[in-house]
Structure 1
Amino acid sequence: MKRSIGLGLVLAVALTGCTTASGSYSSAGLAPIPGSITYNGQPRTKLTKSPVGSSFPHSFTDQWGRQVEEIYIIQPDRSLLIAERHYRPVFSLDDD
């Protein structure tokens, strides 16, 4: 029992070291699609009160009727980077 708890703690510390401390991403992010906040360029208003590196979600329906959720990260110049994009399934096999 003690050995499994110790192993769990070691793994938790190792995973913590895998996160980025600076909050910066080396990639350019995902390309915007219709419905994305940055589809027609960066927004004109700057997010001045939000800390650099913070993230927030944005959900919308794309042009094919799919539910999309994007995660944005605020960059040091206050521009937005699309870090993640998830498509929600249109139907579920569990529906009756």
Structure 2
Amino acid sequence: MRSALSAVFAALMLGACTSTQTVGYGPNLEPIPGSITYGGQPRTKLTKAPVGSTVPHRFFDDFGRRVSETYIIGPDRSLRLTSRRIDYDIFD
């Protein structure tokens, strides 16, 4: 019983070490340094991916935070940024 309580406590403490912030959704989301579309659309077109499919992209920003972005492929094969999530570490 005592070891089960200590395992639950350890799991709760570990879960409190990091937090996630959803920065935004929608068409008004601007690319940041590290985004695929930062500085314009990429030169290569995604010709094999179907229109409307999603493209995930993960990178670390200038502050060392993990950023997860989601893009949707448009009819003209351009990428549209639809969501961004930033993971923070409380020890930073």
State the TM bucket, normalised to the shorter chain: 0.5 to 0.7
Contact 1:32 1:39 in 2 (8 A): yes
Q: How does 1:1-96 map to 2 (within 5 A)?
A: 28-91=27-90
Which structure ranks higher in relative contact order (CA pairs < 8 Å, sequence separation ≥ 6)? 2
Over the matched positions of the two proteins, sequence identity in percent amounts to 59
Residues 62/36 of structure 1: CA separation in 2 closer, same or farther (3 Å cut): same
In 2, the alpha carbon distance for the partners of 1:51 and 1:32 equals 23
Q: TM-score, normalised by structure 2?
A: 0.66
Dislocated runs of 4+, deviation >3 Å? none
Q: How many equivalent pairs are there?
A: 66
Structure 2: any 5+ residue segments left out of the alignment? Answer: 1-25
In 2, the alpha carbon distance for the partners of 1:52 and 1:29 equals 20
Q: TM-score, normalised by structure 1?
A: 0.64
In 2, the alpha carbon distance for the partners of 1:34 and 1:89 equals 17
Per-residue deviation, 1:30: 1.3
The CA RMSD over aligned residues, in Å, is: 1.5
